[in-house]
Copies of this chain bind each other. A is one copy, B any other.
Amino acid sequence: MDNIDLQILSILKENARMKASAIANEVNLSVSAVTERIKKLETSGIIEKYTLMVDQKKIGNDVSAVIEVAIEHPRYIDPFISLVGAIPNIISCYCVTGDYDFVLKVIIDSSEGLEQIYRMVKGFEGVKETKTYIILKNIKNEITLLPETANK
C-alpha cells in the first residue's frame, strides 16, 4: 500500500460515493488505474465497507447512551456477544480491560426505549453489573482513522 492508495482511501473516507473518474482527477492517474487500486484495497480486506452517516435526531433517534457491562463468568461471554449482535439498537460493542468486560453504545428513540434496552441487556444471562451514561452531545463521531500522510 503506497501513498496513492492512502490518498484514494482518504478521498473515499470523505465521500464514499465519489466516481472513479473524479478520484482519478485528484490523484493524477487514469480511471482504470484508480479502479484497479480500489479493487485491490477491497479484495485485500483493507476496505471493509462503504457506508453512510445519518443525522440520528432527524430520523427520530433522540436518545443515545453508553452502557458498561461486567459478565459473571467467561462462559457467558460468547452468548452475550451473539445477543448483542441481534439487537440493532446496540450499534457498537467493545470487549475491554478494566473492571467491566464490554462497552456498548445504544441509539434509541426515547427514554422509555432506553429503559427497554437496559432491561434487556441486564436480563441477559450472566450479566453481573451495568453502568449507564446518557450521551448529552456527540462531539466527534468518526469510524475510520487513516495514516497521517493520507490526509494531506
State the main secondary structure of chain A at its contact with B.
mixed
B-contacting residues, A56-96, CB 8 Å = 56, 58-61, 64-66, 70-71, 73-75, 77, 81, 84-85, 88-96
CB <8 Å contact, B139 and A65 = no
B-contacting residues, A127-152, CB 8 Å = 129-148, 151
Please name all residues of chain B whose beta carbon is closer than 8 Å to the beta carbon of A98 when the two chains form the complex.
97-98, 131-133
CB <8 Å contact, A135 and B96 = yes
Question: Is the C-beta of A48 less than 8 angstroms from some C-beta in chain B?
Answer: yes
CB <8 Å contact, A132 and B61 = no
Which of A123, A134, A142 has the largest count of B CB atoms less than 10 A from its CB? A134
Binding site for B on A (CB under 8 A): 1, 9, 12-17, 44-56, 58-61, 64-66, 70-71, 73-75, 77, 81, 84-85, 88-100, 102-103, 107, 111-112, 114-115, 118-120, 122-123, 129-148, 151
